[in-house]
Each structure stands twice: as structure tokens, then as C-alpha cells.
Amino acid sequence: MNSYVHYRDWFNVRNTLPKEVRIGFVPTMGALHQGHISVLEKARRENDFLVLSIFVNPTQFNDPNDYQDYPRTLELDRRIAAECGVDALLIPGKDDMYPSGNDMPILTQHPLSQIMEGKVRPGHFSGVLTVVMKWLHWVNPARVYFGEKDFQQYYLICELVKQYFLDLEVIGCETLREASGLPLSSRNQRFNKEGLELAHRFAKLLRSGSYDDLASIQRRLEAAGLIVEYIEKHFGRLFVAVECHGIRLIDNFRL
């Protein structure tokens, strides 16, 4: 199993695979946790050949500090990849992924890219869609897997695949949660003890009381010391983003 494979070398591997071999692809930004593992296990079961990519994509970060501070745990990630039966692990650098800059990006004006995460993080979804398009060409999977924790991302990638006639399936994977309801996230690794307690409290507060009155939920979150970026209902789901001890937390779930 290689860690960095140049896309031309990978093309050579890919092109020797028989046509009927179905590639499952799990693109990630690394810092793998149990949520990723469950996705990898699902993809392992559903496909003949499993590709995992790890790339912290700079063009989807509007905040350079957030990019800098994004957790990187490569050695652990490699072990997890091996344990999950990954056939090819792709870990390109920035210059591999953007060999001549980023002057032909996909620019989304889709309505769902303009609200919530799209509003709070200008340019975020354009960066996501651009890098995902590159990855889909690079890997050429039959199925690609995304977590529903980033529901807007998942939905917009489904739309990208439709609009650009990509011949593959996008599989949304349910969010894994702690007992409190807190979704597993790479960013959780950045909390200290106090921050983590508040994060669990956030999850519990979200799950108490009626969803008819979002303003009162917001007041409860704020009273607990969270800064609420947004709390909105769409597609019969509740979407929320808060700042918790200086770290962003997002969640969404079916009501």
C-alpha cells in the first residue's frame, strides 16, 4: 500500500484493474476517527477495491488559521487504513493536487451553497467541489462515500455529479455519535477537557425541548456559553453551527 501515489502511476494501477472491478472511494482530510472507520468498513463491504485519500484541501478553508490548526495524525491514519483493508492510500501534497494553482475552480452559486456553512465560510463549497471533481477524476470510483455530518457538502456533491454527468454513485453515510449525541469529528481532537464538556452539553441541549421554537433553543445554547452561528430547518432536518471554546462545531439531524 503506497502512501503517496502520483496520479499518473495511479492511472497505471487503475487501468490494469479489470473493467468489472468496482472501486469504492472514501475522500477524507485525515485525522481519522471511528466515524471514518465505519465509512471505510461500509465501502470495503460494498466494493472490490478500496481507495482512501487524505488531503487537507487549502482552497476550502476561508480561515488560514483553521487550515493551519486542522488536526493531522498521519501515522495513526496509516494504521487505520491498513486495518480497514484499504487497497490504495493516496496522500498528495498541495502542489500535487494544484499543480498550476487554482485558476479554473468550480464556482457554486447553487442556493444551498449560499446559506449556513456557505454563508459563514465564503468560498468553502467552491473549494470543496473543485477538489472533489479532481479526486473523482483521479480515482474514477464506482461509488464515493461522504458523511452526512456535512450534509450541505453531501447534497451539493450529489448535485455536482448530476450536473456534470459523472457515472458513479454518491453514498451518504449516517453520522456516528457519542452517547451525548455529539457527532464524531476530527475537530473534536482539538478540545481541552472543559471544551469537550461544553461540546457534550451542546449536544444534549440540542436534543431537549421542542423544535418548533428555534429561538428558545438558541437562547439555551447561548446561556450555556456557546456562540450560535446559525440554527435553521431545511429538508425536515435541523442544522446548527456553534463556536464552543473557540472551536466550530456543526451538526444536523432529521427531525
Provide the annotated active-site residues: 36
Nearer to a copy of itself by Cβ, of 37 and 106: the residue is 106
Cα separation of 202 and 240, whole Å? 10
Does the protein bind a copy of itself through residue 65 (CB under 8 A)?
A: no
Nearer to a copy of itself by Cβ, of 86 and 132: the residue is 132
DSSP state of 71: -
Does the protein bind a copy of itself through residue 137 (CB under 8 A)?
A: yes
Does the protein bind a copy of itself through residue 95 (CB under 8 A)?
A: no
What is the smallest separation between the CB atom of 170 and a copy of itself, expressed in angstroms?
Answer: 14
Q: How far, CA to CA in Å, does 113 sit from each of 159, 166, 199?
A: 11, 20, 26
Does the protein bind a copy of itself through residue 163 (CB under 8 A)?
A: yes
Nearer to a copy of itself by Cβ, of 10 and 61: the residue is 10
Count residues binding a copy of itself (CB under 8 A): 32
Cα separation of 237 and 200, whole Å? 20
Q: How many CB atoms lie within 10 A of CB 95?
A: 9
Nearer to a copy of itself by Cβ, of 91 and 221: the residue is 91
Choice from 64, 93, 95, 103 touching a copy of itself (CB under 8 A): 103
3-state secondary structure of 31: coil
Does the protein bind a copy of itself through residue 133 (CB under 8 A)?
A: yes
Note the residue count of the chain: 255
Q: Looking at the DSSP assignment, which residues form a beta bridge with residue 52?
A: 26, 89
Does the protein bind a copy of itself through residue 105 (CB under 8 A)?
A: yes
Does the protein bind a copy of itself through residue 164 (CB under 8 A)?
A: yes
Nearer to a copy of itself by Cβ, of 97 and 242: the residue is 97
- Report phi then psi at 162, rounded to 5: -70, -50
Choice from 104, 179, 215, 223 touching a copy of itself (CB under 8 A): 104
Helix axes 151-163, 124-139, angle to 10 degrees: 60
Does the protein bind a copy of itself through residue 109 (CB under 8 A)?
A: yes
Q: What is the DSSP string of 219-235?
A: HHHHHTTPEEEEEEEET
Q: 244 burial class (0-12, 13-18, 19+ CB within 10 angstroms)?
A: buried
DSSP state of 59: G
Site string for a copy of itself, 17-36 (x = CB under 8 A): -xx-----------------
Choice from 100, 192, 208, 210 touching a copy of itself (CB under 8 A): 100
Contact residues for a copy of itself, defined by CB under 8 A: 7, 11, 15, 18-19, 98-100, 103-111, 129, 133-134, 137-138, 140, 156, 159-160, 162-167
